[in-house]
Each structure stands twice: as C-alpha cells, then as structure tokens.
Chains A and B, each alone.
Chain A
Amino acid sequence: MLKKSKQANAEPTVSNSPVTMVDRTIIGDQIYIEGTIRGEEDLLIEGSVKGSIEMKAHHLTVGTKGQVIAEVRAANVTISGKLEGNINATGRVEITKAADFNGEIKAKSISVEDGAYLKAVIELEREPTQKTVPLGKPEAKASSEPKKEPFVLTGKDSKGN
C-alpha cells in the first residue's frame, strides 16, 4: 500500500542517504503502478513501477525490492533495486552495490558502490579541458547535427540475469 512516512519512523532501507527527508511516500512491495508519477515530496519505491516519474525538486529512492522501468526526473536519485530507464537528475545519483541499473544517467554528480550491476551511459557536468590541437591544424568544429547514438536502451531480452 501507499504509506506516508516520517523519516524518524521510516525503516532505513538505504543507508547513507545524501538528502535529509522530512516526509516521503512509500510504494510498498505489493504495489504495481503503471503510468506517470508526479510528486512534490520524496518517494521510496519498494514495489513495481512502469512509466515515468517526475519529482524535480525531490529525492527518488528505488529500494532493494523495487523494480522500476521508467524515465526519471528528480533532484536526487538513489538506486538499491532494479531500474531500467533514463535518469535526469539536477543533483546527485547514488548507486549502491545492491543496484541493477540499465540506462542513461545525466546528473551533476554520481556515486557508485563496488559491486553494482551496471550498464549505463553517464553524462556528468564536464570539467573544462584544454584540448590539444596538433600544430597546423585548426580545431575541429563540433558538429551541429546530433550524432546517431550508439546505444539504444535495451529491453529485457538483453539484460544480464
């Protein structure tokens, strides 16, 4: 069932959460949701969700029992369960060793524990680097046309078991 939880009483499913949560909603492990979830508070998923999750100013946690196939937009994301889809986070993405993630991550920062089961395309805010330009050659212009992506998010049939 959907539960409202105060942090002080909540079961600590994931340790070392980078964000202090005051209130959060829990989707329990017997719940299956298909569709769009939008929220203005933190969310812990222990059940199954398929669709999209938008909580731009809040923290999404996929707990150890959670199974999510979704496009995710959130401030911070913690994955300890299974998540297949793309994550767009304005803050931090945390992937624990219990996680099974397949998809693309765009975030400001990331932490990954050794042992995480990961297949990902990761884009972080880049450091300005000084490209070395060979003498006598002008620096190549970046193409204005988006290049064909070499990786398309794969379905279940290509996941490791």
Chain B
Amino acid sequence: MAASAADLSQRDLNQHLGLEGYNSNALKLFIEHLDQQTESRLLDVGPVCQENIRFFARRVWKHYVCDMFIRLDRNIRKGDPVYQIWKELDYHPESFDGILMWELADRLDEQDVKRLVTLCHSMLKPGGMAMVMVMGDQIASSETKSFVVGQNHRIYLRPQPHLKLPLRGRQNRDVLSMMAPFIPAKSFICRPGFMEFLFRRE
C-alpha cells in the first residue's frame, strides 16, 4: 500500500523515483526547442537551483531566473496577499522562447493560477514552450522540491525545506484546463500520477 503523501520521506521518494532520478522526455524536447532558437531566452520561475542555472545558462543566450517559490513563501509567512508577487514577473510581452513553470501552479489557488498562466502566455514568444509538472498524490507532499537537471535529461528531486507552501494536488485534467490559453504539445507519464506537460503558445 502506498504511503500517504505526508509520510513520504526522501528515502521513500528516491525509491519511488529511482535513486538515479528519471529520464525526462519533456526536458529533452524542451531543450531541443531552445536549441533551435537563435539568441534564445529562457525564464525559470524556480526554486532556484545551482545545477539548473549552470546547465541552462550555458545553453541559452540569456537565462532569466525569478524565483517565485521563495517570493510566494515570504508573502505567505508575512500574511501578505499572494497577488503581490506577480509584479515580479514584469518582463515584456513575447520575451521568452521557453518558460520552466515546474510545479508552481500546484502551489497556487485558482485565481493566482489564472494570473500565472496569463502572464506566462503573454511573456512567451509565439511558438514558445512552457514546461509544467504534476507530481501526483504519491510523490507530492507539502514539502516543496526543486527539479534538479542532471546529465542526459535526467531529473532529480531535491527537498527545499526552507519553503513552506500549500499543495493543491491538481489532477492531469485540471492542468489541461488551467493551461487553456496554450496548445498542449506533449505529455508524459513519468510514474503513476506524476506527469510532465509541454505547452506551446500559438
């Protein structure tokens, strides 16, 4: 019987995902898309992760990092309204060839998800791609994790204990619904309930 989400330790998580992480087909396609662009610009909304910065900053022309997870965490701790964090995504429309949204949407309520999706849609260039993760009940927990990019498109999950964020536990169909402004490009099942999505702006 599967452990409850709250009881899932890092060891359990590693066992579930495999100690060596997992091969991310979405990441492979996402990178191929970036490699096709000249002077490519990528936005990563966090959590900030050294490995990812090193990986992407050497592949794209300009790597933009704006950690929305830590901004969300600080706002929640201070009791400030979440909508205040969106002023940080003050980039010009059609700025980016790709946006790494990871599982940020799963940490937001419906209203803020709509705001995030609208902003990301605006910031992406036509044809640009957004990558979204849904971790599912068995892997997701209230402990936020970063998706650490390794060699050969492998992704490892690393707990971020400094981040205390709510988890909404969205299902796959919820993701397709919330990302309605985009065209679904690809989706992959990594583990039961754990999915990767690629969306494209028309």
Known: A114-B158, A123-B63. 19 other contacts (CB 8 A): A110-B57, A112-B53, A114-B160, A117-B67, A117-B74, A118-B46, A119-B88, A121-B63, A122-B62, A123-B62, A127-B58, A131-B36, A132-B36, A141-B38, A142-B38, A143-B39, A151-B92, A151-B95, A158-B90
How many residue pairs link A and B with beta carbons under 8 A? The number is 107
Note all chain A residues with C-beta closer than 8 A to B67: 116-119
- Residue in B38, B57, B74 whose CB lies within 8 Å of A124: B57
B50 within 8 A of A: yes
Contact with A along B82-111 (1 / 0, CB 8 A): 000101101110011000000000000000
- Residue in A114, A116, A140, A147 whose CB lies within 8 Å of B146: A114
In the assembled complex, the CB of B149 is this many whole angstroms from the nearest CB of chain A, namely 14
Note all chain B residues with C-beta closer than 8 A to A126: 58-59, 61
Interface residues of A in 70-116 (CB under 8 A from B): 97, 109-116
A121 close to B64 (CB less than 8 A): yes
- Residue in B38, B50, B70, B95 whose CB lies within 8 Å of A110: B50
B71 within 8 A of A: yes
The CA-CA distance from A99 to B60 in the complex, in Å, is 24
A122 close to B65 (CB less than 8 A): yes
A138 within 8 A of B: no
Considering only CB atoms, which chain A residue lies closest to B160 in the complex? A114
Note all chain A residues with C-beta closer than 8 A to B75: 160
In the assembled complex, the CB of A121 is this many whole angstroms from the nearest CB of chain B, namely 5
Note all chain A residues with C-beta closer than 8 A to B78: 161
Note all chain B residues with C-beta closer than 8 A to A121: 62-65
Note all chain A residues with C-beta closer than 8 A to B70: 115, 117-118
The CA-CA distance from A97 to B163 in the complex, in Å, is 12
A contact patch SS: loop
Contact with B along A140-161 (1 / 0, CB 8 A): 1111000110110010001011
7 contacts between A and B (CB under 8 A): A112-B49, A114-B48, A115-B162, A117-B71, A132-B32, A147-B39, A151-B95
A16 within 8 A of B: no
- Residue in B32, B85, B92, B162 whose CB lies within 8 Å of A160: B85
